[in-house]
Each structure stands twice: as C-alpha cells, then as structure tokens.
Amino acid sequence: MTITDIAKELNLSISTVSKALNGSSDISGSTKKLVCEYAQSVGYQSRKASSIVGRLAVLWGKEPQESGPLSVIADAFSRAASNARYIVVSKVIEEDFDLNDYLAGNRFGGALLLGINFRSRIYSQLKKTKYPLVLVDNYLAGNPLISGVGSDNIHAVEEAVDYLVSLGHEHIAFLGGERESLVGAERLAGYILGLAKNSIEYRYDLTYFGDYSAQAGVDAAEYYLQYGKEFTAIICASDVMAGGFVARMREAGKRVPDDVSVIGYDDMGAPGLELTTIRQDFERTGELGFTALAGIIGGVPAQRAIVETELIPRRSTRRLN
C-alpha cells in the first residue's frame, strides 16, 4: 500500500495524503483523521515508520462511549503502544467476527479487549485464541496467552460499605452493574462481604442491577420508591447510574444526603452533585494493559494486573445522628 493507493481510495490528491500523514498544519483535522485511520487500517508504513515493532488491535465488544471509562483506558493503551513503536487499530466486534482469523489476516501481534462479558459473542472464542490477549475488567484463567487488567473491585466496594457503616448506616442498598460480567460479580461480592464483615444481613430486595447507564439509575430509584424499600444509603456501580438515581429520587422529593447517602464508582462526575465515589485510575489501567500484552508477546506468562482504587468522600454522604 502506497501514498498513491491511499489517495486513490479516499479520492484525495497525493499531496493532501502526504501532508496529512506528515502532520502538516494546512490540512484540516478531519482530513488528517480520515487519512491516518485509513492508513493504519491497511497497514501503511511511511519511511519514518520503518522502525515499527508491530501491530496491535483494540477490540470492542460494544460501541465505545466517547470520553467514557473504557475509552480513557483505550486511549492510554494506544499512547503507551505508540510510544513503544506499535501501530494500534481499533475495531468494534461484529456478529460474524472470528478472532483468530481477524488477527491473522491483519497481521496483528495481539489485542486488547474491552466491553466483553460472559455473554459476548467473542467470549467462547477466547479459550482457542492463538494470539496474546489482554482483557479489560475480565479474566480467563488457564490460557497462557490471556492476561487481565482491572480495578480491585471487591476491596473497593467493601471499603465503601465500611465507610458508610462508620457514618452510622446499617440499611445500605446496592445498585450493581451487569450480572453477566466479572466486574458486576466482583462489586456485588464486595458489597456482600462488606455487610458480612460489619454483621449486617444481606437483603436481596435492596439490590438492583443495571447497565451502567443513567436510565438504569432512574429505573432503580423507581423500583425502590414503588415497593417502599427503606434504606439510608446506596452504593452505585457507576457515577452515571448514581446521577440517574439521584435525579429520580429528587423528583420524588427525596434529598441527598439528608434522606439518602449516595456513593458512586469511577470518579467521572455526576451533574449537579458533589458525589462521594470510588476513583479508578483509568490511565494506569490502560498503561498496564499494554505492559501486560507486550509481556505476553515477549514470552512473559499471562497474569492478572489489579489496579488500586481510592474512596473519595464528598457531600453526597452524611453521618447519621
């Protein structure tokens, strides 16, 4: 693939393509993005890129949300890979996607996988992979080519329960994420362990599961309101869900934190709310993702890297009288 070929495929002049690939200031950002992404997708390498080590894929189990947590991780991974002279290509997994065929056909040395849960169409292919993989917020033991990277979810939620108990709360609800994901299972486990450690009985009726969206938070609040569930605090598996939950509770006349204390997860913010939350280090997660993948490629045994979290108290939680 040459500059002439790229120009022909994109219906641009050779001069425009050359300037875009070389970062010229007299080419629009959208044109640069179009040319560079296409050049990466077809494996084009300039003379300057002759020292490129290899090609890596970032594979998405679902459409990425711009500026969302997984996008931040993917960006950090891509920067680390680029600094190590790898070309990185991003792709959303399609219905008939074959992992080994895709990686082989596009000459990838390995891949980072995001947004994958136990029901994802690609999950059943992981055990048969012939290529190094790193799973974000997931892990599959028994395959020396698969590593995992993610936050210490169990300890994080357990610590959140401890914090609420230290403020005098005993009736603590939990708004969890996808039940079919490792992250969802780990955060639920942290909640149950935190309750048990503090001699508080786990109540299934105070647990609600969603998909990390604001609407899931709204739906959870509607459930708790409709069935008259009484609790003084809730831990939400994402800040986005916490925002939706708080919005619906306020519509119902409930005050935060006077009537209910709220803890989120991610430290990505919630509109109009100084949210107590569990901060994840997404930059570190992406960097470790690349380190783990490069390690497997270099012969290092697969492993699971755990990134520490931090509880950030703010004004959405209060001490009970």
Tens of pLDDT, residues 142-175: 889 999 999 999 999 999 999 999 999 999 999 9
Phi, psi angle pair for 244, to nearest 5°: -65, -40
Q: Is residue 317 part of a domain?
A: no
Same domain, 44 and 189: no
* Contact of 208 with 239, CB cutoff 8 Å: no
Q: Is residue 318 part of a domain?
A: no
Instruction: For residue 97, give its domain range.
Output: 3-150+282-307
Q: Is residue 312 part of a domain?
A: no
The predicted-structure confidence for 68-92, as pLDDT tens digits, reads as follows 899 999 999 999 998 998 999 999 9
Same domain, 199 and 124: no
Same domain, 172 and 133: no
Phi, psi angle pair for 205, to nearest 5°: -70, -10
Same domain, 161 and 143: no
Q: Is residue 316 part of a domain?
A: no
The whole-angstrom separation of Cα 199 and Cα 231 is 16
Same domain, 24 and 61: yes
Same domain, 16 and 127: yes
Domain tally, the chain: 2
Same domain, 143 and 287: yes
Phi, psi angle pair for 17, to nearest 5°: -65, -45
- In this structure, what CATH number is given to the domain that contains residue 136? 3.40.50.2300
Would you list the DSSP string of 187-235?
HHHHHHHHHHHTT----GGGEEE--SSHHHHHHHHHHHHHTT---SEEE
pLDDT along the chain (321 residues), means of 10: 84 82 72 84 64 89 86 94 91 92 95 93 90 94 92 97 98 95 95 98 96 96 96 97 97 97 94 93 97 95 93 98 83
Same domain, 241 and 211: yes
The predicted-structure confidence for 5-34, as pLDDT tens digits, reads as follows 888 889 988 878 877 877 666 678 788 888
Q: Is residue 313 part of a domain?
A: no
